[in-house]
Chain A
């Protein structure tokens, strides 16, 4: 029974990682950039939610939507200001810029709100339900529900709409796509917007479940989501989902044993190393040759 309970804990943690990992993987798929500022967009989402919920007394759904919108604005503006001018620079320049943006967001937020953790208002009365001896809280259920809903919406956008088609085309071959009349700049912005919306939503969900938020809250989940994206195969959307869930479950199980509990982060990150050694393309990633 405890095993099933831990599986549920892992699933709800993993769905958060999956939401963040999706943003990593989509951006990587299209411009081959590991957007290290992505974890901080998640932090921005949580803080936006915090301010809407505390100052305007909003309920859960509007808070979530506004947090997603503000995250989208941040994501798109960052792309336009920081990454777009470097589109034709070497990839390492972009990567370093991403790290710079990440530091700017963290410390800028720290400057604005101070380093003390803030307690997120409980937008939803927490209650827990017992099914066959298993405890599931309504927030866990909500996290799972919202994550699944957003992932289905994403699947729909990417595979059933024209913009999604443009995204897939641009990710396949940017140059050819632009020759076919696809506005690559807009498509890239749209990809950042989608990823940021998911990260913003994850921020609010996490803030609800874990109560405290601070300017550095995005670092660890961001890194773990990155591992999840690599595990699933970076660039692959279903891969990010599977990767996120696997990382969540691995972390939960390693924490639940006294022996490995202190090593849970080490275990998570050694997965990254093992994957890079054994199957560099990840579980669902395609092996691509560098175009010369």
Chain B
């Protein structure tokens, strides 16, 4: 009994002291405030690599801004929450960040489903929220005025590839093979088809497959029969590698076109040499000689001992953009930061970033070419 009492007293005193601690900090804030910014994303679970990459990018941005004296002299502190790419967890993470941690802004989520779930709360609570990577078109719509997006939309990738194939490569006929069980793949396929046809091209085959398919010989045989100039494969690297390999075995000669889901060091391991010369849209190019990019890549390599992928670059840009908006607003008041964010212009690693009236990023796309097991910069395409 005595022991229980003691533990209880200890627990109480701990809670009390932590409360006192909080109070003190806020008082101190008058001179040098700590700016708390939240981040949520899948830090564990099947797509944890996405969340970890974004987190690393954001942490690098945090380190850099604090090393430079913070925002108007106030240190920045990032608080991370795990949503496991699950919409319910994302809402919990959002509530925890806003109600308990009292963050002034949020960078996240990382996956589209989780972001859409939490996005409406951003506008309800007047918390500016900026997703680095959710590409699903409706995210900013359902989120409302406080939901911003730092990457381009799926449809933009499709349109960019269509313009590139029709104008730069001068191709006339195209085939599309997309994943019918995935909105990302479907969205790109559709926007590519519309744009390619409006640019005067012809989509000769528009085929699909199911989410877990591994055998694509049937569709590829059909596509081969139509003999298209280009073949668009809008899916992630693990599927694209398999398709490319089977296409090569079947003797399909079309130029292969791809999207940002291709970006992985595993891609050419799976595909072997079947993707040689294929081109795909991406957010940035690691070997880009522009100063923003080379500085970022060097700093990231120093911090983590590896090359940053596109998600890390997007996370970094999103964090830096948010810092700039808070700096511009000269306050952490949600409404004012939102106004500043809507007007911000930031020369990021993934291209010069600003937001359109729907709070989506307007930025240029990079087209990369697969050479051996590396990528080379092919060209950059500006938005129309």
Contact = CB atoms under 8 A, between A and B. Distances in A.
Nearest to A265: B210
A126 B270 CA distance: 13
B250 interface: yes
B217 A212 contact: no
Interface string A217-230: 10110000000000
Task: Decide if the interface of chain B is mainly helix, strand, loop or mixed.
Answer: helix
Interface string A133-157: 0010101000000000000000000
Contact of B225 (A2, A117, A212): A2
Given A6-B221, A212-B270, A115 B46 contact: yes
Contacts of B221: 2, 5-6, 9, 256
Contact of A137 (B209, B210, B219, B249): B249
Interface string A100-140: 00000000000000011101001000101010000101010
Contacts, number: 88
Interface residues of B, number: 31
Nearest to A1: B225
Interface in A1-35: 2, 5-6, 9-10, 12-13
Interface stretch (B154-162, B237-245, B281-289): B237-245
Contact of B219 (A5, A210, A255): A255
Interface in B209-240: 209-210, 212, 214-215, 217-219, 221-222, 225, 238
Contacts of B209: 255, 261, 264
Contacts of B217: 9, 12-13, 252
Nearest to B206: A258
B307 interface: no
Report the interface size class on chain A.
Answer: 35 or more
Interface in A182-207: 206
B180 A262 contact: yes
A211 interface: yes
A253 interface: yes
B242 A128 contact: no
A261 B176 CA distance: 13
B109 to A, nearest CB: 19
B21 interface: no
A146 to B, nearest CB: 17
A147 to B, nearest CB: 15
Interface string A65-105: 00000000000000000000000000000000000000000
17 contacts: A6-B221, A6-B222, A13-B215, A13-B217, A116-B266, A119-B241, A126-B249, A128-B251, A130-B251, A210-B215, A212-B241, A252-B217, A256-B221, A257-B222, A261-B180, A261-B208, A261-B218
Interface of A: 2, 5-6, 9-10, 12-13, 115-117, 119, 122, 126, 128, 130, 135, 137, 139, 206, 209-212, 216-217, 219-220, 251-253, 255-258, 261-262, 264-265
